[in-house]
């Protein structure tokens, strides 16, 4: 009787060295940097992985060594995710995101974007009409801490000073940072709330529109409409677009939850979530830009026409970036 | 014999049959659903192998999350202390930069911690790594950056929204505000407890991003017990009948007993097996009475080898004997 009577034991003895090698390579590679592996090791890894896959398959069929099968299942699973996991470098992924994925995701959301924009516009109109009829509405629409003294009781001189006050030049970048983090958090919340059947997202977008309309009505009543638009839209174009897109992304998810169409609800929601997520990641970038424009640009640039120019240019750039037809790249 | 008849014979099973069908077939072919089976999910690799992933339990998920929260809190406290210390040190001029760094750091921590760690090769935060978990796309494909972003952006309504309402309900002065905030808390609490109410243990974020969280065991390759059996072979010899007394379930239990090496359990199990198979002690061996105390272990190891050999032999002929009651 030889020492290796059991087939399953012979099977293990013959292959054990390969498994151990695969395990060592994985431990090295999983440390984070694929660069840790040499070229030879990178070539060997998929081969070892396939060998381990076949080992597991055979072991399940012929071996009753539970510990061995558990080990192989763990090893093959780890190797599977290493071999088939994401491999593109961060830079390539970023370039691809800004060149292709983000604008494509935004274009796919065009219906939701239209709805979101409509809600914002209607709410802004409503806010404008309400406040211009009866100034008391202003207090009801604007949250107290947002007015910073800009309310119907303020003098025209004060309202004007807000528009051109260069603040103190200090504190600008911290202010910009605060604006960005605050707005981004709200936008992410609006996106996530889409899951609750769109309604809370719609409310958040509408609230934005209402306060916009109320502010415009207040300044218009003092004949300060044109200066206000410069002050508002220098960053507002970017920020409002971001708000609209965040709302649209939320709507896409909520809509898939309610009306999954021909697919299973889970699949429909997952597909919607991915598209919306891509658009939403870009919204955070937009809000960084808006934060810089608001916190720094607006405080430094005091000329109306310069503010309008920036507003117009940003509108054209964003719309062209998202919606302009681009040449089909044949590849 | 017709070719068709041959294809359907048990000796030549069609590979498809094994894979298609009910969720029960995720277990080992022909074996009954083990207690862990409700959490087994299939993932067929391009090579056609089912990886049989195990979903993480709600407890593991919660522990991992708490671990991550602890790390985040520690990081935030460190950041704040550093900001205060440096803020005092640099005076008026530099405070703005420090305020910026703090704001951005806190924002990045709240939104980026999960995303950045899950984007890494192991697709797991330190908490998940600690518990041996990772995030996986439900469809078995690649885990995309969008999915990771989405699943973590949803934390905003799963955790931070309930927290906000919790704070609001505890500080509300007006009773009406208090009631409203409590209702809002209950509403948002549903999102938090979502994983407990579906069989895939999906968090809201998992649901929307098309992901789930599985266990990735880092099992060590343990020594083959059959190697010990081969050494012990001359000491104990078993007849075919004796080697056929049990099934796979008992074999796995025996393996567990042998690996744990608890003296009492070894003695008890050895005694029961000796009785069951009516094993006659070879001359010079006494049950459990060896001065070195290893007779029982040696006997069990030898019997393990014999039983496994017999069962594997039958496995090769297409029959997997589940347990000792499986007479076929």
Q: A74-78, B28-32, B46-50 — which is least confidently predicted?
A: B28-32
CA–CA distance, A178 with A184 (Å, rounded to integer)? 10
Beta bridge partners of B212: B136
Instruction: Residue B203: name the closest of A251, A159, B211, A330 by CA.
Output: B211
Q: Which of B296, B289, B307 is nearest to B253 (CA)?
A: B307
Whether B306 contacts B242, CB under 8 Å: yes
- Closest Cα partner for A188 from A300, A279, A77? A279
Confidence (pLDDT) at A129 = 93
Does B215 lie at the interface with A, CB-CB under 8 angstroms? no
- Dump pLDDT digits (tens) for B90-107: 877 777 788 888 988 998
Q: What is the pLDDT of residue A30?
A: 76
| Cα angle B254, B258, B261; round to 5 | 140
Relative to beta strand B211-215, strand B133-137 is antiparallel
Chain A contact probe: residue of B153, B191, B215 with most A CBs at under 10 A: B153
Q: What is the pLDDT of residue A277?
A: 92
Residue B21 scores a pLDDT above 60? no
Residue B168 contacts A, CB cutoff 8 Å: no
CB-closest option in B53, B209, B219 to A274: B209
Which position has the higher pLDDT, B36 or B218?
Answer: B218
Q: Any CB–CB contact under 8 A between B199 and chain A?
A: no
User: B107 vs A174: CB contact, 8 Å cut-off?
Assistant: no
- pLDDT for B187 equals 80
Whether residue B43 contacts residue A76, with contact meaning beta carbons closer than 8 Å, is answered with no
Residue A226 has pLDDT above 80, yes or no: yes
Q: pLDDT-derived band of residue A32, with 50, 70 and 90 as boundaries? A: low
By DSSP bridging, strand B40-41 and strand B133-137 are: unpaired
User: For the residues of A139-207, what is the DSSP string, one character each?
Assistant: HHHS-HHHHTT-STTS-HHHHHHHHH----STTHHHHHHHHHHHHHHHHHHHHHHTTTTTHHHHHHHHH
A174 close to B (CB below 8 A): yes
Of chain A, the end-to-end C-alpha distance in Å amounts to 63
- Cβ–Cβ gap B99/A20 under 8 Å: no
Share of chain A above pLDDT 70, in %: 90
B57-87 residue pLDDT tens: 989 999 999 999 999 999 999 999 999 998 8
From CA B151, how far away is CA A79, in angstroms rounded? 24
CB neighbours (10 Å) of residue A314?
21
pLDDT digits (tens, 9 = 90+) for A252-262: 999 999 999 89
Q: What is the pLDDT of residue B33?
A: 41
B213 contacts B134 by C-beta, under 8 angstroms: yes
pLDDT of residue A135: 83
Name the closest residue on chain B to residue A252, using Cα atoms: B208
Residue of A nearest to B158 (CA): A192
Range picked from B9-18, B20-29, B175-184 for highest mean pLDDT:
B175-184
The average confidence (pLDDT) of chain B is: 79
| Model pLDDT, residue B191 | 84
How far is the C-alpha of B37 from the C-alpha of B23, rounded, in Å? Answer: 9
Interchain contact A280–B (C-beta under 8 A): yes
CA angle A251, A254, A255 (to 5 degrees): 80
User: Which residue of chain B is at minimal alpha-carbon distance from A70?
Assistant: B219
CB-CB under 8 Å, A70 with B153: no
pLDDT of res. B247: 86
pTM confidence score: 0.82
Q: Is it the case that residue B152 has pLDDT exceeding 70? A: yes
Q: What is the ipTM of this complex?
A: 0.87
Element (H, E) at A65: none
Give the model confidence (pLDDT) of B209-265 as tens digits.
999 999 987 778 888 887 766 665 467 778 888 888 888 888 889 988 888 888 888
In the predicted structure, residue B23 carries a pLDDT above the cut 50: no
List of residues 6+ apart from A228 with CB closer than 8 A? A163, A215, A216, A219, A220
pLDDT for A109 equals: 94
pLDDT of residue A141: 82
Cβ contact (<8 Å) for A269 and B207? yes
Q: Evaluate if residue B3 carries a pLDDT over 70.
A: no
pLDDT digits (tens, 9 = 90+) for A53-106: 999 999 988 888 888 998 999 999 989 988 887 666 678 888 888 999 999 999
Three-state DSSP class for residue B106: helix
Chain B's closest residue to A195, CA to CA, is B208
Q: So what's the pLDDT on residue B214?
A: 92
Q: Give the domain ranges of chain B.
A: 3-53, 163-202, 225-316
Residue B299 has pLDDT above 90, yes or no: no
**pLDDT number for residue A1:** 41
Which residue of A3, A9, A247, A296 to mutate against B (max B Cβ within 10 Å)? A9
Q: What's the pLDDT at B328? A: 61
Helix (H, G, I), strand (E, B) or coil at A121: helix
Q: How confident is the model at residue A242 (pLDDT cuts 50, 70, 90)?
A: very high
Mean pLDDT over B187-208 rounds to 87
The answer to whether residues A307 and A233 touch, using CB atoms and an 8 Å cutoff, is: yes
Q: What is the pLDDT of residue A127?
A: 92
What does DSSP say about strands B53-55 and B211-215: parallel, antiparallel, or unpaired? antiparallel
Q: Measured between CB atoms, does A60 come within 8 Å of chain B?
A: yes
Among A11, A270, A284, most B C-beta atoms within 10 A, so best to mutate, is A270
Mean pLDDT, rounded, for B193-213: 90
Of the ranges A118-122, A232-236, A274-278, B246-250, the best mean pLDDT one: A118-122
CB A245 within 8 A of CB A286: yes
Residue B75 or B42, more confident: B75
Q: CA separation (Å) from A66 to A6, B45, B71, B226, B326?
A: 15, 22, 36, 12, 19
Other C-beta atoms within 10 Å of B11: how many? 7
For A124, counting Cβ atoms within 10 Å of its Cβ (0-12 exposed, 13-18 middle, 19+ buried), the class is buried
What pLDDT score was predicted for residue A247? 94
Average confidence (pLDDT) over A44-60 = 93
pLDDT range class, residue B19, cuts 50, 70, 90: very low
Q: Which of B259, B255, B223, B249 is nearest to B326 (CA)?
A: B249
Q: Do A178 and B28 touch (CB under 8 A)?
A: no
Q: Summarize pLDDT for A136-190 with one digit per residue, the tens.
A: 888 888 776 666 667 787 788 877 877 776 555 556 777 778 878 888 888 998 8
- pLDDT of A132 over the 50 cut: yes
Q: Where are the domains of chain A?
A: 7-87, 91-323
Q: How many helices (H) and strands (E) does chain A have?
A: 15, 0
pLDDT at residue A330, rounded to an integer: 47
């Amino acid at each position: 009787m030889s020492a290796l009577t059991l087939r399953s034991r012979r099977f293990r003895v013959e292959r054990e060295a390969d498994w151990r090698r695969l395990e060592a390579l994985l431990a090295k590679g999983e440390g984070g940097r694929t660069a840790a592996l040499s070229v030879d090791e990178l070539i060997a890894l998929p081969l070892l992985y396939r060998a381990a896959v076949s080992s597991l398959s055979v072991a399940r069929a012929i071996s009753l060594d539970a510990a061995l099968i558990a080990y192989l299942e763990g090893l093959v699973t780890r190797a599977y995710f290493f071999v088939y996991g994401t491999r593109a470098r961060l830079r390539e992924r970023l370039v691809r995101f800004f060149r292709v994925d983000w604008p494509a995701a935004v274009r796919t959301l065009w219906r939701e974007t239209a709805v979101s924009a409509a809600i914002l516009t209607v709410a802004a109109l409503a806010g404008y009409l309400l406040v211009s009829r009866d100034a008391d509405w202003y207090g009801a629409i604007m949250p107290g801490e947002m007015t910073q003294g800009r309310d119907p009781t303020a003098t025209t001189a004060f309202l004007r000073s807000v528009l051109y006050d260069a603040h103190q030049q200090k504190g600008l970048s911290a202010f910009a940072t605060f604006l960005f983090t605050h707005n981004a958090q709200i936008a992410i919340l609006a996106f996530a709330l889409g899951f609750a059947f769109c309604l809370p997202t719609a409310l958040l977008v509408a609230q934005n529109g209402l306060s916009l309309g109320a502010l415009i009505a207040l300044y218009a009543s003092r004949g300060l409409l044109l200066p206000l638009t410069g002050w508002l839209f220098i960053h507002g174009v970017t920020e409002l677009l971001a708000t609209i897109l965040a709302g649209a992304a939320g709507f896409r998810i909520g809509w898939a939850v309610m009306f999954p169409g021909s697919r299973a609800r889970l699949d429909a929601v997952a597909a919607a979530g991915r598209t919306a997520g891509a658009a939403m990641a870009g919204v955070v970038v937009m809000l960084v830009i808006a934060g810089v424009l608001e916190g720094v640009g607006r405080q430094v640039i005091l000329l109306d026409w310069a503010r309008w120019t920036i507003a117009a240019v940003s509108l054209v750039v964003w719309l062209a970036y998202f919606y302009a037809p681009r040449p089909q790249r044949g590849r | 014999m017709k070719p068709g008849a041959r294809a359907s014979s048990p000796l030549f099973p069609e590979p498809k049959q094994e894979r298609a069908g009910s969720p029960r077939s995720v277990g080992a072919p022909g074996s009954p659903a083990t207690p862990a089976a409700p959490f087994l999910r299939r993932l067929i690799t391009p090579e056609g192998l089912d990886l049989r992933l195990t979903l993480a339990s709600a407890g593991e998920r919660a522990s991992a999350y708490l671990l991550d929260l602890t790390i985040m809190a520690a990081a935030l406290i460190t950041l704040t202390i550093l900001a205060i210390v440096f803020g005092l040190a640099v005076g008026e001029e530099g405070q703005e930069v420090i305020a910026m760094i703090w704001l951005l750091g806190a924002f990045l921590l709240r939104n980026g911690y999960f995303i950045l760690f899950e984007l890494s090769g192991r697709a797991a935060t330190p908490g998940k790594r600690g518990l041996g978990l990772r995030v996986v796309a439900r469809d078995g494909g690649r885990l995309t950056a969008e999915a990771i972003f989405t699943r973590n952006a949803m934390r905003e309504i799963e955790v931070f929204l309930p927290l906000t309402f919790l704070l609001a309900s505890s500080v509300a002065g007006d009773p009406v505000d208090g009631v409203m905030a409590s209702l809002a808390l209950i509403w948002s609490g549903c999102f938090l407890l979502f994983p407990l109410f579906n069989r895939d243990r999906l968090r809201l974020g998992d649901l929307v991003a098309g992901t789930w969280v599985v266990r990735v065991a880092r099992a060590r390759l343990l020594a083959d017990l059959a190697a010990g059996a081969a050494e012990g072979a001359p000491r104990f010899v078993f007849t075919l009948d004796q080697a056929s007394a049990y099934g796979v379930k008992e074999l796995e239990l025996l393996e567990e007993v042998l690996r744990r090496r608890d003296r009492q359990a070894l003695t008890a199990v050895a005694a029961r097996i000796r009785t069951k198979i009516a094993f006659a002690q070879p001359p010079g061996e006494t049950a459990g009475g060896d001065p070195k105390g290893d007779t029982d272990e040696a006997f069990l190891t030898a019997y393990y080898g014999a039983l496994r050999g017999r069962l594997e032999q039958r496995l090769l002929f297409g029959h997997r004997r589940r347990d000792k009651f499986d007479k076929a």
